[in-house]
Amino acid sequence: MIRFAKVTDAEEMHRIRLSVKENVLSNPSLVPLSSYLPFLSGSAFVWEEESQIRGFSAVDLTTGGVWALFVDPIFERQGIGKQLLDALCAQFFEGPCDMMWLTTDPDTRAEKFYRSAGWSPVGYCSNGEVRFELRRGTWTKAQEDLPRMGW
Q: What pLDDT, in 10s, does the model give residues 34-93?
A: 888 888 888 899 999 888 999 999 999 888 899 889 999 888 888 898 999 998 888 888
Name the maximum alpha-carbon separation found in the chain.
42
- Report the range of poorest mean pLDDT among 15-24, 52-61, 105-114: 15-24
Domain boundaries, the chain: 2-143
Q: What pLDDT, in 10s, does the model give residues 119-145?
A: 999 999 998 889 999 998 777 655 554
Architecture of the CATH domain 2-143: 3-Layer(aba) Sandwich (3.40)
User: Judging by DSSP bridges, how do beta strands 130-135 and 99-104 pair with one another?
Assistant: antiparallel
Q: Is the pLDDT of residue 147 over 90?
A: no
